Amino acid sequence: MLNSEKTMFALNDVRDDHIESARSMLGYKTEKGRRHLGKKRIVTFALAAALILSLGLVAYAISVRIVFKDDPIVVDGEEFTSVGFEALDKEPVYLGVWELTNVPEGFSLVKSYYRAGEGEARTDFQNADGDTISLIYQKAHGIDGYFDKPILTQESVIVNGNEGQLYVVDNGWSYVFWTVAERGIGFQLSVKGDGYDLLSLAEAVQETDNYPSMDNDTCQALEELGDWNPALPEGYTELMSNGVPGDYAYLWRTYSNAGHYEILLNYEKPMSDLEGYVFHYRSTDAGYGVISYTPVVVNGCDGWLMENEDGTPFRITWLDEDNGLVFQMTTNGVDSETLLAAAQGVTRK
């Protein structure tokens, strides 16, 4: 069993029932975190490794964005092994879409989600005997997990050229952790059951262009919140939307160009006034690296432009009181002026 100790307080979160139902299948032991603006988030793991290549006298290094951590941890006087991965930078991550391409016979899909705004995706398969295969891939969220059962075996492995670790734990589960280090993406493949070649399954995880269509929750959230889109720079098209309806309804809309640069638009029912949203970034790790907060007016609404140390935009946030929505836009590919122009062009169809 893998225990997640830390909570991350995020404005654009998923409902607790969504998280808990997802985790119960994997046997995660979770602890309830404090609430920020009425929401909480139980964080899984940010996964990673390092890879550097040199070619003769002309050497180049793949940008290593995350590293693996494996340390002892004491919980309630008992020592366990912590596993996880730590981000080396705060650059936005292009997650992409990855699939398990050789699902064993007899397994069927039981759960799937793709949350581009949160940088996490998950797919679970199960057979009639209750054996489970779960693939999670995500950007780095930090290290804070441990196995709360003895590790039976542990070994270093290579998954499609990437360094990783394989664990067999005394709870019926086995795990492989690896990363695509230059992309900043971490992977966890977990299997409950006997007789499966875990490394072969991990090596069958491949990136595809099969972006998910809207699920029922996203369609309902779109109906509740409205169909809003920004004025996109040339070359950008929408990849996908994902969200949840209800009291904490939100939508993340992802737009990308051929170079895999993204613009993300989030809108949701307000959890606080505008200053509450900005305070979240000023006072927590969520705003790490942000040094500039500039008041702006977006479509006649008060907002804030937040910029990183290198002058790139971190986020634009504004409150549309007339429509009862908070909007936020982020990017990994355009400058602040371009992002602000896209925000000024946000309209409802």
Four-way CATH pick for 2-208: 1.10.10.10, 3.50.50.60, 3.40.109.10, 3.30.200.100: 3.30.200.100
Look at residues 65, 116, 72 and name the one whose alpha carbon lies nearest to residue 86. 65
The residue among 48 and 191 whose pLDDT is bigger is 191
295-321 per-position pLDDT tens digit: 999 999 999 999 988 888 999 999 999
Indicate whether 47 pLDDT > 50.
no
pLDDT at 3: 53
pTM of the model: 0.60
244-289 per-position pLDDT tens digit: 899 999 999 988 887 777 899 999 999 889 999 999 888 887 777 7
Residue 159 has phi, psi (to 5 degrees) of -115, 105
Q: How far apart are CA 274 and CA 320, in angstroms?
A: 10
| Domain 216-348 indexed as CATH 3.30.200.100 | yes
186: tokens are 């971490």
Q: How far apart are CA 173 and CA 193, in angstroms?
A: 7
The residue among 319 and 85 whose pLDDT is bigger is 319
Give me the chain's average pLDDT, please: 78
| b/e burial code for range 4-26 (CB count within 10 A of at least 16 → b) | bbbbbbbbbbbbeeebeebbebb
The residue among 328 and 55 whose pLDDT is bigger is 328
191: tokens are 């299997």
pLDDT at 92: 66
Give 84's contacts (C-beta < 8 A, 6+ positions apart): 45, 46, 47, 69, 142, 143, 144, 145
Domain with CATH 3.30.200.100 in the chain: 2-208, 216-348
Look at residues 224, 215, 274, 252 and name the one whose alpha carbon lies nearest to residue 329. 252
User: What residues does 2 pair with on adjacent strands?
Assistant: 147
Fill in the amino acid letter for 23: R
Proportion of the chain above pLDDT 90, given as a percent = 45
Q: How large is the average pLDDT for residues 128-137?
A: 95
Comparing 76-85, 178-187, 199-208, which segment has the lowest mean pLDDT? 76-85
